């Protein structure tokens, strides 16, 4: 179980294009960080670096478990759940098959049962889950992607625009699910434009502008929609 993530002067460049410049950020267990910012601010890049798949061009990310720094090995990846822009699922397979396949890769015992539980939880319809994923609507894909991210009970949950394609009810339910992950002591990072959906769950606001961290503040009491909007406009205009 990861207890905190320390991002130390992390920079990322793609050739001459700079995505992140010396970002410093600490993420703690049992908290939901709303990572905000305009398009192209480097939010997805930061998530990629946190997921260990993108290598920072400078700086380090420390994955701490108590006082111990975890090694960047295969086992660390088991503790990370990612919901990305793309589904990370196979279009030709059904939702159940996708989850069962990833359950095998993650070494999750009784993958079939775990897949059913998760699909119930994210509200993916009983008939739909045995159809090929390429026939799904955006919202259904998003639910499946969430189930995939939660599959191995990650203690670091990274979400890139998870509210896309969900209706208001679905978005609220997802917000509640994030609240639950927070209560379970997970580290949650959520990149989003949907301030209304994330309000009430988040207790940590980080705003990226042009690859630099413009705002990094916490409030254990949480943030209202108005408070989030006020901060977003103050920093990202």
Partner 1 sequence: MRRILIPLLAACAAAGLAGTLYLVFYVTKLEQNLFFNQKIFYWHVPNWFMLFSMVFLCGGASIGYLVKRDPKWDDVAHAAGELAVLFGAIGLVTGSIWGKAAWGHWWIWELRLTTSLILWLTMLGYALVRRFAGPGSEPLCAGLAIFGMVNVPLVYFAVKLADKLGQASAHPKAKVVAQLDASMKGTFWLSVLTFAAVCALLFLVRIDAIRDARRLRAVRERGLDAGILEP
Partner 2 sequence: MPGRALPTAPAADAVPASCSAAVGRRTTAPVGTLRLVAAVAGKDLKVELRSREILYTMALFAAVIVVVFSFSFVKDQKALVAAVPGVAWAAVVFAGTIGLGRAFEREREGDTMRALLLSPAPRLAIFAGKTVAIALLVVAVEAVVLPLCLLFFNVDLGAAVLDLVLVLVLGAIGFAIVGTVFAAMLLRIQSRDVLLPVVLYPILVPMIMSGTKATAAILAANDADAWFWIKFLAAYDCVFTIVALWTFEALVIE
Residues that bind partner 2 (CB under 8 A): 51-53, 55, 74-78, 80, 82, 84-93, 97, 101-102, 104-110, 113-114, 116-126, 128, 132-133, 137-140, 143, 148, 150-153, 165-167, 169-170, 172-174, 176-177, 180, 184
Sheet containing 58-65: order of strands: 17-28, 4-14, 58-65, 68-69
Work out how close the CB of 114 gets to partner 2 at its nearest, in angstroms, rounded to a whole number: 4
**10/141 with CB nearer partner 1:** 10
Contact 151, 114 (CB under 8 A): yes
CB-CB neighbours of 202 under 10 Å = 28
State the first-to-last Cα distance of the chain, in angstroms, to the nearest integer. Answer: 37
Interface stretch with partner 1, choices 30-38, 56-64, 80-88, 109-117 (CB under 8 A): 56-64
- Residue linked to tokens 């993108």: 54
Site string for partner 1, 129-168 (x = CB under 8 A): ----------------------------------------
Determine the 3-state secondary structure of 130 from DSSP: helix
Interface stretch with partner 1, choices 17-25, 27-35, 167-175, 192-200 (CB under 8 A): 17-25
Is residue 237 at the binding interface for partner 1, with CB under 8 A as the rule? no
CA atoms within 13 A on the CB side of 222: 14
Contact 152, 182 (CB under 8 A): no
Q: Which residues bind partner 1 (CB under 8 A)?
A: 11, 13, 15-18, 21-22, 57-59, 211-212
């Amino acid at each position: 179980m990861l207890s905190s993530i320390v991002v130390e002067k992390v920079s990322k460049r793609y050739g001459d294009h700079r995505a992140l410049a010396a970002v410093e950020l600490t993420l703690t267990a049992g908290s939901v960080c709303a990572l905000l910012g305009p398009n192209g601010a480097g939010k997805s890049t930061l998530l990629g670096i946190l997921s260990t798949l993108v290598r920072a061009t400078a700086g380090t990310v420390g994955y701490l478990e108590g006082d111990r720094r975890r090694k960047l090995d295969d086992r660390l990846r088991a503790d990370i759940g990612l919901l990305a822009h793309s589904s990370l699922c196979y279009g030709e397979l059904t939702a159940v098959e996708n989850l069962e396949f990833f359950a095998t890769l993650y070494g999750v015992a009784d993958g079939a049962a775990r897949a059913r539980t998760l699909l119930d939880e994210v509200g993916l319809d009983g008939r739909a889950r045995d159809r090929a994923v390429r026939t799904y609507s955006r919202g259904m894909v998003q639910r499946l992607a969430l189930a995939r991210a939660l599959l191995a009970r990650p203690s670091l949950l990274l979400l890139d625009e998870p509210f896309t394609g969900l209706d208001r009810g679905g978005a609220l339910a997802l917000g509640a699910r994030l609240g639950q992950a927070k209560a379970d002591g997970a580290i949650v990072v959520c990149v989003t434009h949907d301030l209304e959906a994330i309000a009430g769950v988040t207790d940590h606001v980080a705003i990226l502008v042009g690859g630099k961290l413009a705002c990094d503040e916490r409030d254990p009491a949480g943030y209202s929609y108005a408070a989030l909007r006020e901060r977003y406009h103050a920093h990202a205009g």
